[in-house]
Amino acid sequence: MSLVTPPLSLYVHVPWCVRKCPYCDFNSHQGRGELPMAAYVDALLADLDFDLPLVWGRTIRTVFFGGGTPSLMPADLVDRFLQQASSRLRFAPDCEITLEANPGTAEYGRLADYRAAGVNRLSFGVQSFDDGCLERLGRIHDSAQAEGAIRAAQDAGFAELNLDLMYALPGQDLAMAERDVERAIALSPTHVSHYQLTLEPNTVFAARPPERLPDDDLAWDMQERCQALLAQAGFQHYETSAYARPGHRSEHNLNYWRFGDYLGIGAGAHGKITLGAEQTILRRWKHKHPTKYLETAGTPAAIGGDERIEPARRPFEFMLNALRLHEGFAWTQFEARTGLPRAAIAASMSTARERGWLQDDGERVSPTETGRRFTNDVLELFLDAPIEADIGA
């Protein structure tokens, strides 16, 4: 059984924000003074050049500018980056190119210029349409600005639009959570990401939890009600937190969830690349801090670390991603992307089936409703599970 190289994506991290939100643990830093964006694009290109030998001859299927706040990057620099990147790497003709935008940094002219630069999908961090909730979340925009930015994106010709919403917010009741989803639907996005607010370590909210946080039962009710509203409006719930109109799923995220490959460039970015000739999977990540990254990009000193994903670890890493998808995975995909035969995980699979967590029709495996509810228990079965001895055969 051998590893087959899967589709390839490119992730580009932009590590600055206007202001750090108190719940956020992403690698994002409050910008002070003028941001060194032109120098950062040079660093990104040097970083890309450094990683190119890992992916010679392969085609980029999707690009994702994530953050931080990529919409702080002027459009001419996004244009320069995309032009330079596509002269180094082949981009698929229908390449999905997404940029994350904060509604507080997204006026019409800038959005139209992103479109002209080749960006064909925008993802807005809306979080809520309730001005009180937005204030408690420390957001830099209100609901009117969010609606204005979404309409401006549509006017600028963006057909593919994702809205990020969070629920279980401080001071939010069930009706408020429903209203957020209704207002999102009324704006006709093609995709909605609906995340439960979590208190992440090393954030302001973890140190000083906000008052009036909904309890777990209420959070569960919110999730169920919002899911039903989205379903009524024609959105398919295809991943733990992702909803899409038919034909509008996030190709970039699907590639992650299908254990595809991705180059990660930018401060703190992570990549995962299958090296066919060496029959190994490499993970590589870059230095997190923007200043150190700027100084070292394109040299070995910019590498925060790398590691190989050993065969024994691959089933868990594969499942961690694939079981988020309601459609699950095909056995042929498991074998190509882990380099292991299905027999390698026979024991864990049979336990998962007996417990009613996974279903297997011989071709595809997918999580049952119970399996989706207890993902961590399912995953535990594949963590350091004994792998059959003949996996190298």
Ligand X SMILES: C[S@@+](CC[C@H](N)C(=O)[O-])C[C@H]1O[C@@H](n2cnc3c(N)ncnc32)[C@H](O)[C@@H]1O
Among positions 39-68, residues that touch ligand SF4 (CB under 6 A) are: 67-68
* Binding of residue 166 to ligand X (CB under 6 A): yes
Count of residues engaged in binding ligand X, rule: CB under 6 A: 16
* Residues 101/148, Cβ–Cβ less than 8 Å: no
Which of 195, 220, 285, 331 binds ligand X (CB under 6 A)? It is 195
323 touches, from ligand X, ligand SF4, none (C-beta below 5 to 8 Å by class): none
* Binding of residue 339 to ligand X (CB under 6 A): no
Chain position whose Cβ is nearest to ligand X: 125
* Binding of residue 18 to ligand X (CB under 6 A): no
* Binding of residue 105 to ligand SF4 (CB under 6 A): no
Smallest distance, ligand X to C-beta of residue 7, A: 23
Residue 279: left if φ>0, alpha if ψ -120 to 50, beta else—which one? left
Which of 200, 306, 307, 310 binds ligand X (CB under 6 A)? It is 200
Backbone angles phi, psi at 285, to 5 degrees: -135, 155
* Binding of residue 35 to ligand X (CB under 6 A): no
Looking at the Cβ atoms of 253 and 338, the one nearer to ligand SF4 is 253
Looking at the Cβ atoms of 28 and 253, the one nearer to ligand SF4 is 28
* Residues 242/249, Cβ–Cβ less than 8 Å: yes
Smallest distance, ligand X to C-beta of residue 203, A: 7
Interface region with ligand X, contact rule CB under 6 A, candidates 6-14, 65-73, 207-215, 362-370 = 65-73
Looking at the Cβ atoms of 67 and 271, the one nearer to ligand X is 67
Measure Cα distances from 207 to 18, 19, 204, 327 in Å: 22, 18, 5, 38
Which of 62, 71, 102, 123 binds ligand SF4 (CB under 6 A)? It is 102
255 touches, from ligand X, ligand SF4, none (C-beta below 5 to 8 Å by class): none
Looking at the Cβ atoms of 69 and 143, the one nearer to ligand SF4 is 69
Cβ-Cβ contacts under 8 Å for 292 (sequence gap 6 or more): none
* Residues 62/98, Cβ–Cβ less than 8 Å: yes
| Residues in contact with ligand X, shown as a per-residue x/- string from 84 to 123 under the rule CB under 6 A | ----------------x-x---------------------
197 touches, from ligand SF4, ligand X, none (C-beta below 5 to 8 Å by class): ligand X
Q: Which helix (H) or strand (E) holds 21?
A: none
The DSSP code sequence of 102-127 is -GGG--HHHHHHHHHHT--EEEEEEE
Which of 21, 181, 322, 336 binds ligand SF4 (CB under 6 A)? It is 21
Looking at the Cβ atoms of 9 and 28, the one nearer to ligand SF4 is 28
Q: How many CB atoms lie within 10 A of CB 37?
A: 17
47 touches, from ligand X, ligand SF4, none (C-beta below 5 to 8 Å by class): none
Using alpha carbons, select from 73, 74, 121, 81 the residue that is nearest to residue 97.
Answer: 121
Q: How many CB atoms lie within 10 A of CB 14?
A: 28
Interface region with ligand X, contact rule CB under 6 A, candidates 193-201, 222-230, 259-267, 299-307 = 193-201
Cα–Cα distance between 318 and 72 in angstroms, integer?
A: 34
* Binding of residue 17 to ligand SF4 (CB under 6 A): yes
* Binding of residue 189 to ligand X (CB under 6 A): no
Smallest distance, ligand SF4 to C-beta of residue 26, A: 5
CB-neighbour burial class of residue 23 (10 A; exposed 0-12, middle 13-18, buried 19+): buried
For the chain, the helix, strand and coil percentages under 3-state DSSP, each to the nearest 5: 45, 25, 35
* Binding of residue 26 to ligand SF4 (CB under 6 A): yes
Cα–Cα distance between 363 and 330 in angstroms, integer?
A: 6
Q: 3-class DSSP state for residue 248?
A: coil
Backbone angles phi, psi at 185, to 5 degrees: -60, -40
Helix axes 37-51, 75-88, angle to 10 degrees: 20
Using alpha carbons, select from 43, 25, 32 the residue that is nearest to residue 72.
Answer: 32
Q: Which residues bind ligand X (CB under 6 A)?
A: 23-24, 26, 66-67, 69, 100, 102, 125, 127, 164, 166, 195, 197-198, 200
Q: Which residues bind ligand SF4 (CB under 6 A)?
A: 17, 20-21, 24, 26, 28, 67-69, 102, 125
